[in-house]
Structure 1
Amino acid sequence: MPGFVHRRAEGLRGDITLAVVVAAVAAGLEFVYGALRGEAPSVMGFLLLGGGAAGLALLRLAPRSAGLLIGVSTPLYYILGTVDTWAPVLTFGIGVFRLASDGHRCAAILGTGATLSLLSLGELLTVLAGGSLSERTFYALAWPLLVLAAGEAMRNRRAYLREVQQRALDAERTREEEAQLRAVEERLRIARELHDVLAHRISLINVQAGAAAHRRDPEQAFDALNEIKQASRETLRELRSTLGVLRQVDAPAGDTDSALAELAPTPSLRRLETLATEFTQAGLSTEIHQEGTAGDLPAAVDLAAYRIVQEALTNSLRHAGSARAWVTVEHGGNEVRLSVLDNGSGGSDGTARRDGGHGLAGMAERARVLGGELTAGPRPEGGFAVHARLPCHSG
């Protein structure tokens, strides 16, 4: 608000300064033209010139009053004045042009209409007095319209430039918002991938480490340690593979880590049997059931389905204890349906217990991104259930 008041005060000072300058120029022209033509300036002429200048001072404060004052004083000067100068034309041109270009169309039309009406009345009185119409008559009626048209053209140009500028700003803002949205989506995707890779393997390592700590038989302890070693190796390989994709750089020849990353198999529903074996060895007996004909799934759907099954089994391994799990994959014509059930400890608080991290949220996000849906919750007969539906379109 203070800035607006300051700008408005500066605009009023500018209008008053313009009015003073125009009034001084008009008065000077009145004296000069009077001296050159031997005509004595009249008080009425000065008053009408002052009225037009006063209208310039009111352009911002009272546009319609300014338009009417300028529109009336200009023709009356030529009708009642004694010295014929172009000073009123200057006043009218500046005033009406400013009003029209600044968007005060009613005020500009009001001033132009008043001028044309009085000029037409003057020409009519001239004809009735025995005079005749001349080129000067048409000029006198045409120039106010030209000034109004010029002001309208300037207003349209300013409006066009403002619209172009606004469109550019909107486009820039839209590009920034889209870039931010893409960055957020990419961060979520990376977070999901890293969570699924690390949570699964670390859970296996944790279970095997716990088993090794409680086993008194050295052979069984060594078997658990070998499982930990294998799970750690797989974790590093999948992590390097994921980070290699994110970095998108070519590894130098002979780089063992990069070679492992290149050899890491792509997560897919075709690897569910291998996944089930890993969980079975970790203590969660897992069975896989495939229904329907498995066709070539879009890569995004295949990856999401595998990650959902992997995360659901990881949750079962963490929270269900010594239990069994059943994975059912139904292949339909346009969608894949997934079901992961376990018979571990469920209870009414099962959802809250299993949703302590980001697992369920990540699975739901994967389904939503593909236009599918996911539900999860305790089973009435005990245990936990995860159901997902993923469309198979390639969008």
Structure 2
Amino acid sequence: MPLHGPRAYDRRMHAMPLPPRLKLVPPGAWVALAWSASTAFTFLARVRLPGEEAANEFAAVQFYRWDGLVVLTIACALALLGSMWLHRRPLRALGLLLTAAAFLTINLAAVAIQLAQFLAVDLALYFIAAGRPRRTGVAALCTALAVLVGWESLRLLRGWGIGTLEELTVALTAVVAWLLGDASHRTREYGERLRAQAATQAVTDERLRIAREMHDMVAHSIGIIALQAGAAARVVHTQPEAAREAMTAVETAGRETLAGLRRMLVALRHADQDRSRAAAEADRLHPAEGLADLDRLAAATTAAGLQVDVHWKGARRQLPPDIDLSVFRIVQESITNVVRHAATTACRVTVDYLEEHVTVEVTDDGRGRGSTTDTGFGLVGMRERVALLHGEFTAGPRPEGGFRVTARLPVPATAATATAATVAA
């Protein structure tokens, strides 16, 4: 959860890095690129390049003939089709790539499937092991090794020469590619488990924060009750009307405090209370913060470089302390997310006082990025806070661009009745 207060925004106005552009390229495109590069390398190895006395490899008889060109075309078509199917049907795609490698090797009249022809297969093995269940990755590796063994076995049965060392090298690269992909798969699974644990911890931390805030609000209310009761006791005989007003204030404060406790205690009964004193003191919040401080928060953020426009709708009234503080925290966290993620210079905050609800909406015209890059789990905390108050919470990109956070919190009937009585008096 973020730091709070005006100084926190100066420390958090940093841009989140964009994901690497290379990750935007699909695996099939990388495999197709690897096949194209290996095919070009195979051709260059069989021609005499400038500065060379002879080509590194001898070209087969059919290398430049029409039949060789037909086989090359078929092999490239199979490889490209396998690259297209890699995402949807990985094992079938690998089979096409292996067939393409075999066809191209036949066209070269080589004794073994060489590393250049197996490069696209190695890359496909990596992506399958990294992105698919381990059973699929193991099946892909076994298929690739079986093709290599079958190639050498067929040549032995026909009495032809074989390239054992070359084939062992190719098999080793296939195993290494699978191991790298499997390691990537395990690392991603571990990261997902850590993120799930962090999200769970964020919910627990938010509940503990709300519990501490409730403790502070109850202490504040009890202090007010004590002062009002003492004042009523001193003037009960000399100023009965003043004493009656003081006792009415005591009743109102007591009812609001009890209502807030009832709303929160059941939801927080399972929260872990084992926190160190230093961490608890560092996270302690000022009990008086609420919607009355929203203009101050907007001014501080505007001074830091983000224009915050606050719009009020409906008749402004005093809300129960827990609801008032929760609305303020939602606005505060939403503005913080705009500063961190939206890459914009302005946002709009709308607070609408309805008869039985209070609604807050924070919108911006930025990049429209939200929880996917929010490493502080701000949206998780806001959603948990609203759920504890039996409200409704939505957050997501807007169709017209930007991001929107909306929270709708019910106002208890006792609070509405007390406000109406205060206005009537």
Give the TM-score band, short-chain normalised.
0.3 to 0.5
- Ranked by relative contact order (alpha carbons within 8 Å, sequence separation 6 or more), the top structure is 2
TM-score (norm 2): 0.42
Larger Rg: 1
TM-score (norm 1): 0.45
Which is richer in helix? Answer: 1
